[in-house]
Every structure is written in structure tokens, then in C-alpha cells.
Structure 1
Amino acid sequence: MESDPTPILQELQALAEQGRGFLQSLTRPGWRLYQIGILLALFALAQLGAWALYGRLYGWLREREGWPMWRFRTALILLRRLRIILLVVLAWVTVWAMREVTWPSRSYLVAIGATLATAWLFVGLAARLVRNPFLRRLVTWGLWVYVTLYIVDLTDEAAALLESVRLGMGDLQLSALTLLKAAVVTGVLFTGARLIATTSAARIRRDDDISPSMRVLIVKLLQLGLYGAAVFLGLKLAGFDLTGLAVLSGAIGVGLGFGLQKVVSNLVSGVIILLDKSVKPGDVISLGDTFGWINALGARYVSVVTREGKEYLIPNEDLITSQVVNWSHSNEFVRLDIFFGTAYSDDPHRVRRLAIEAAASVPRVLGDKPPVCHIVGFGDSSVDYILRFWIVDPSEGLTNVRGAVFLALWDAFRANDITIPFPQREVKILPGSRLAAAPPD
């Protein structure tokens, strides 16, 4: 801390004098002391009321079947703040009653207590919009302190005290007040940015006119822009000089660029993938030995789920630099080939007809792109065929539909006496060999 301790001590002494004078005034017999007693009694009543009502209200809430989830959450949030809600109600009723039967000045401290309790309640409820626990606690306590100082008219003195506490780093001078304002303002702006991003993202995902990959890109760019704007705007509104910060961030960026080349490459590759629409969520792809459908596109990786339920996180760079088979890039049609053979004694025209009928009987095989069967060669033991058919749902699996066609072929050939040969070897014992000369057992 590079600051002169004299101003800090002077501000602390001034605040201490004001606090001592205020406490001394409360200890003198009179309406101020009575109002302190009334506030303590109201707090005790609110505590007793919370103890008495919490169990009943919680049990009643558990019986509310059919309520939407947002209503349950709102009710639980209010139930957890039952004590301060009762305190607010009791305090304002007491203020109204005292102003009706006596002078307004005799309810001054009770009114301040009611105002403080109301402000604390609304700050606690509003802070629920901040999801990050640490940031939520920081915003909550910062606003509680601020509204308390504002209501008791000590904002100028507290601001002067925080301004006198400074942190110096070369030409950059930061006060405790600036840091506190930056934290609170940035937290509030972050909350607003999150609400806007969530609402906008939900609308973008429901827009069927935008391709899935472009939806992901738009949502990510929107989030990046909103959160970045919240940070820089919060620092600017808090009084930060961003000139030095820009130079420092540039130097840090150069260092990170050398150390995080792979990460940056994956980030850039992710943007390229979203822009050229080569892959998108729901596509069925093959990359090396990995076959599955794309579950999600991330900033650094692509999530691919296989038929075994395994989820592979493939770096975006691999999808750019490696050969990727996209089974559903331009359309969902996929052609599959099956090789089989039959005996030379079987009529090949009949075999082809039975094979086509067997493939067409499988539900996933397309009828508007009918199967075809061709002879591809004459083998040592069989006439070799290829059976080709089309499907339109590769995400449902390829091995299972091949197995179903093979099973249909087996049933059709068994029913029509078509033989599937297998290699056979004939062993001859030549005269004069040891086996020929050996006596039988």
C-alpha cells in the first residue's frame, strides 16, 4: 500500500467520533432508547414467528403437486427469508401505528430499521440472479454495506476513508473504493449480460431458419461479446484507466500466444468448423477408429458419442487437418455393401432375386432406392456377389442393419435350398508313402 497513513487515521477518528456520539445518545433515557427496545422486540417477534411458521409452510409447500419448478424455487427462496420478511412487515406496521398515535420524530429510528430491513431483503432477493457463488456473495455484501451507509447518511465519510486507502503499481494508482465499485458494478453487469445471453440463446435455438452450426456460433459470439462488454464497461464505470491495462493485456497476450498455441489453434479451428458447416450437431462421422454422432460443438473440442455409449472429446484441430467421413453432411442417405457367395450349382439369377427380396424385407432398408445385387467374381469355392442397399438413418447404427440383412439372407437361402459353400480340402494318400505302408490299427 503506497498511501500516507495520516488521512486514513483522520477519517477513522472522524467516524469513531460520530459513532461514539450516536451510541451515547442512545444510552440516554428517552424515545431513542425506547425505539431501540422496540426494534429488539420486533426482531425477537420475527424470530419466534419464523420458528412457528417455517415447519407448517414447508409442509404445505411439499403438498403442492403440479406446481411449475420456477414457482417452487421462488417459494423456497422466500421461505428461507421468512424471518426478515416478518421483520419488515412488523417494523412498517409499528412505524405506521407510532406515527398515528405520537409524533413522527418518536418513530425515526424504527423507520430507519424498517428501511434497512427492507433494503437488505431486496438486495438478498436480487442477488439470487448472480449464479456464481463467490460473485453473488461479493455483490450481496457490497450492496448491503452501501445501502446501510446510504440510509444512515455515512456514504461521504466511508467513501473518503476508502479513497484514502490506495494501492500503487508504477503509474497505476487504485483506491479501495475503486476496487469495491469495480467488483459490484462488474457483478451487476455480468448478471445482466447472463440474463440477456440466456434469453437470446433460447430464441436463437428455436429458430429453425438458422442451421445448427450457425446457432452455436451465434450463441458463442453473443456470450463472448456480452461478457467482454460487461467486464470492460464495469471497469470503465468504476473509474479504471484502461490505457495501462490494454498495454499489459497485449504483453500477456503475446506470451500466452506462444505458450498456448494448441489451445489457440483449437479455438480458431472451432470457429472455422462453425462457419464452413462441415460438421454440425447430429451428424454421423468417422474419424480414424472412432464412429459416432456429434453431440455438441465446443470451443476447444467436439463431443462424439459412439454406439457403445462412449463419449470422445476430439480436438477441433483434428477435424480440420485429418480426413473425416461425414455420413450425413449433405444428406442422410448412406449406401452399405455386403459380400457373400453361393455354390456353383445354384442359379445366379435366382440368387440375385432372393438377395434383393431379403434386403428389401428389412425395415430400415429404403424402398425408393431399391437394393441391387451383382456378381463380382468366380471364386475357388463359390460365385461371389455384392449386395448394395441404402438407409437414411446412420445415427441408428450401421452394424445392426448389416446384421439384419445377413440374417434375412440366411433365412431366404435356407428356405430356397441355396448353398453357402465353405472351403473344402481333399487329402490323398499316395502309394509308397509311409501312411500307405503302415498297417491299420
Structure 2
Amino acid sequence: GWPSRVLDIAVSLLAAWVVIRIASRLIRNRAAARAVATVAWTLAALDILGLLDPTAELLDGVALTLGDTRLSALTVVKGVILIVVLVWAAVVASNLIERRIDASADLTPSVKVLLGKLVRIVLLVIAVLAGVGGVGIDLTVLAVFTGALGFGIGFGLQKVVSNLVSGLILLMDKSVKPGDVIAVSGTYGWVDSMSARYVSLVTRDGIEHLVPNEELITTRVENWSYSNELLRVSVDYGVSYNADPRKAIAIGLEAAGETERALKDPKPVCMLRAFGESSVDLQLRFWIGDPKNGISNVKGQALLLIWDKLHEQGIEIPFPQRDLHIRSPEPIAVATAEAAPGKKAE
């Protein structure tokens, strides 16, 4: 009777719900897992209730004819489901291939990123085309829609397309690559990663800037590690006019030799730069090989060493002074008006 039939349907729905729930937990992405569970539950419920075939016939009845091709709602639903599955498989496969590429020690970082992006794009295109062709849609029918869509995208997504193309150019010419130390638009840091749309630039403050690829192509970029990682650091200081500048220069070179990150080759150089208003101006120059570890910290260490050594030698570090000379006072003659006759002078 109908009670047992209702009970069988309820048990079947419950069993299907449990199986789908357990299976969906294998998908890490919560949104994707929820979507898969919803679709699977809908199909299972329609099949258990005996409404799957009538629903399919109803969707197949809603159709649009384009030339010799009949495009029904059922075909669209099947195509969407098939494309989603194939795209998911393409993403999983591209992630596995990218891991293998990243593990290769024979490829440069920029080549790894370029190959990974190309593999992902190719697999996604193949997945979409296979999904469309898999439901019986003639790909030539999509030519008109693709042309119109491309025309609209050309206006609405100019910046996005420009960033994508700029990203490919950066990966191919290797002007900017992961690990480089660059300065762009007043921001200094090292390139942490490169994506299809932007470059992740991490500063010494730990702030991550997402710089659009187009900006790296169209604006001036300082790449401190393009050909090598050598960078010259300049440290300015001054001594009193009463001090021996040769001795002050020797102190600067000694400080450079004790600075932790300063290289011995190329050799440090210290020179007299100018006769300033309050001091004899000197400049110490030395090279470092790790600019991504910061510039201000190594300059600060060198300045502190110079400070200590100048004080040890009794050499004065001057500061701006002004001498005020007051001329000796001169007497000022004061004349008083004579009183009128009959009046006293005030």
C-alpha cells in the first residue's frame, strides 16, 4: 500500500542524502562541495520519485533552433554539468603538473611560472571545448556568439586583458621574476609571486602590494637584481674643520670593513665630497650582495660604527652653528626742547 511506498521513498532519499553528504566531504572547496551535493541530491530525488524522465522531457521540449542545430534546455543543463566536471578535472591536473614543474631544479623561476600558466590555460580550453562538443553542440555555431562576446569583452575588460598579456610578456622576457628586488611607483620590495593579473611585491614592513602587470610594463621599474644582486650603498657623514680628513677617511674604510653585510670585493671607497658650511663632508661607499634584506639597516650599522670610531679618536662631528656678533654700544645723544618764557621745562 501507499504507507510502505512512502516509507521506501523516505528510506531511499535518506540513503542518497547520506551517501552524497559523505562523498561531498572529499571535496576541499566548500562552495564546490555544496554545489556538487545540491546537483547530485536533485538528480537522486527526481530519480527516486520517478520524475527524472518527465523532467528531462520537459527540458528537452524547451528548445531553440540555430541553423541545423537544435539547442534545448536539457542540452544546456547537460553541457553545464559536463563542463563543470571537466574544468574541475583540468584544474586538478594542472595543479599536479605545476607541482612537478616547481620541483624541477633545471628551470628558472620565470620559466616555471610561464609553463604552469600555459599548461593551465591549455587544459581549461580543452575542457570547455570537450564539454561543449560532448553534448552534441556544433562548435561552429558558437562562432557568432564568440565574436559578439569578444567584441563586448574588448570594451569592458580592457584592463584585465592588458594585464594578462603584460603578464605573459613579463614571463617571456624575464625582466621581472620571482625573487627579484624591484622598486616601482615609490614601492620597494622583492617579488614573492607572479600571477596572470598581478605581481605580489612584499616590502620590508611585511606589506604585500599587488602590482598590476600592466604597470610593470608601462612605467619605469628599478630592478636591483636583474643582471646581478650587487648594490652599492652610500653613507654620508661629516667631521669638523679642525680634524684631519685623511684620518676620517681611514675611519670610514675601517667601519666598512666591520659592517656585516658589506662585501670585501668590490672594495669600499671613502672620499671627500665637499667643504660644507659646518663640516668637511665625506662619503663612504661599499657594496652588498643581498639587497632584499634591506638597505636602511646596513646603513645604520655603518653609521653607528663611524660614530663610535670618531668618538674614540676624539674627532668632532659638527652640527650647524651660527655665530652672532654684537657691536659695542655707542652713546645716543638726546636733545630736549627749551622751555618757553614763563614756563618750566618738562
TM-score in same-fold range (> 0.5): yes
Task: Sort the Cα spacing of 1:247 and 1:126 in 2 relative to 1 into closer, same or farther, 3 A.
Answer: farther
Task: Sort the Cα spacing of 1:260 and 1:183 in 2 relative to 1 into closer, same or farther, 3 A.
Answer: closer
Q: In 1, Cα distance between the equivalents of 2:81 and 2:224?
A: 50
Worse-superposed segment, 124-133 or 146-155: 146-155
Q: Which residue of 1 aligns with 2:336?
A: none
**Secondary structure of 2:242 counterpart:** coil
- Match of residue 257, structure 1, among 154, 158, 178: 154
- Match of residue 277, structure 1, among 168, 174, 193: 174
Task: Sort the Cα spacing of 1:170 and 1:40 in 2 relative to 1 into closer, same or farther, 3 A.
Answer: closer
Question: Percent identity among equivalent residues?
Answer: 44
Structure 1 residue 320 and structure 2 residue 243: aligned? no
- Match of residue 350, structure 1, among 218, 224, 247: 247
Q: In 1, Cα distance between the equivalents of 2:72 and 2:301?
A: 74
Structure 1 residue 211 and structure 2 residue 111: aligned? no
- Map of 1:164-203 to 2, 5 A cutoff? 164-168=60-64, 171=67, 173-203=70-100
Q: In 2, Cα distance between the equivalents of 1:135 and 1:239?
A: 26
Amino acid at match of 1:323: R
CA contact (8 A) 2:201 2:211 kept: yes
User: Over residues 327-364 of structure 1, what are the superposed CA-to-partner deviations in whole Å (9 max), with x where a residue is unaligned?
Assistant: 11222211101122222332232222211111221212
**Displacement of 1:160:** 6.3
User: Over residues 248-280 of structure 1, what are the superposed CA-to-partner deviations in whole Å (9 max), with x where a residue is unaligned?
Assistant: 111211222133323222221111111111111
Q: Which residue of 2 aligns with 1:89?
A: none
Q: In 1, Cα distance between the equivalents of 2:54 and 2:170?
A: 53
Q: Which has the higher helix share?
A: 1
Q: Which residue of 2 aligns with 1:47?
A: none
**Secondary structure of 1:208 counterpart:** coil
**Displacement of 1:377:** 2.9
Amino acid at match of 2:254: E
The two structures, once aligned, show a CA RMSD in angstroms of: 3.3
Amino acid at match of 1:299: A
**Displacement of 1:417:** 0.9
**Secondary structure of 1:367 counterpart:** coil
Task: Sort the Cα spacing of 1:427 and 1:154 in 2 relative to 1 into closer, same or farther, 3 A.
Answer: closer
Q: In 2, Cα distance between the equivalents of 1:428 and 1:240?
A: 97
CA contact (8 A) 1:139 1:187 kept: no
CA contact (8 A) 2:262 2:288 kept: yes
**Secondary structure of 2:266 counterpart:** coil
User: Over residues 296-339 of structure 1, what are the superposed CA-to-partner deviations in whole Å (9 max), with x where a residue is unaligned?
Assistant: 22222222222233332222222112211111122221110112
**Displacement of 1:398:** 0.8
Worse-superposed segment, 329-338 or 370-379: 370-379
For structure 2, the residue ranges without an aligned partner over 5 or more in a row are 333-346
Structure 1 residue 239 and structure 2 residue 164: aligned? no
Q: Which residue of 1 aligns with 2:302?
A: 405
Alignment TM-score, normalising by the size of structure 1: 0.66
**Displacement of 1:123:** 5.5
Amino acid at match of 1:317: E
Q: In 1, Cα distance between the equivalents of 2:241 and 2:81?
A: 85
Q: Which residue of 2 aligns with 1:227?
A: 124
Alignment TM-score, normalising by the size of structure 2: 0.82
**Secondary structure of 2:250 counterpart:** helix
**Secondary structure of 1:363 counterpart:** coil
Q: In 1, Cα distance between the equivalents of 2:323 and 2:48?
A: 106
**Secondary structure of 2:201 counterpart:** strand
Q: In 2, Cα distance between the equivalents of 1:191 and 1:320?
A: 33
**Displacement of 1:230:** 1.3
CA contact (8 A) 1:139 1:184 kept: no
CA contact (8 A) 1:360 1:370 kept: no
**Secondary structure of 2:155 counterpart:** helix
**Secondary structure of 1:312 counterpart:** strand
Q: Which residue of 1 aligns with 2:264?
A: 367
Structure 1 residue 393 and structure 2 residue 294: aligned? no
**Secondary structure of 2:285 counterpart:** strand
**Displacement of 1:414:** 0.3
Q: Which residue of 2 aligns with 1:18?
A: none
**Displacement of 1:175:** 2.3
For structure 1, the residue ranges without an aligned partner over 5 or more in a row are 1-25, 44-112
Task: Sort the Cα spacing of 1:267 and 1:437 in 2 relative to 1 into closer, same or farther, 3 A.
Answer: farther
**Secondary structure of 1:295 counterpart:** strand
| Residue-pair matches, total | 331
- Match of residue 161, structure 1, among 57, 60, 67: 57
Task: Sort the Cα spacing of 1:133 and 1:238 in 2 relative to 1 into closer, same or farther, 3 A.
Answer: farther
Amino acid at match of 2:189: G
**Secondary structure of 2:205 counterpart:** coil
Q: In 1, Cα distance between the equivalents of 2:320 and 2:51?
A: 99
**Secondary structure of 1:336 counterpart:** strand
**Displacement of 1:40:** 9.2
Q: In 1, Cα distance between the equivalents of 2:189 and 2:279?
A: 35
Task: Sort the Cα spacing of 1:162 and 1:222 in 2 relative to 1 into closer, same or farther, 3 A.
Answer: farther
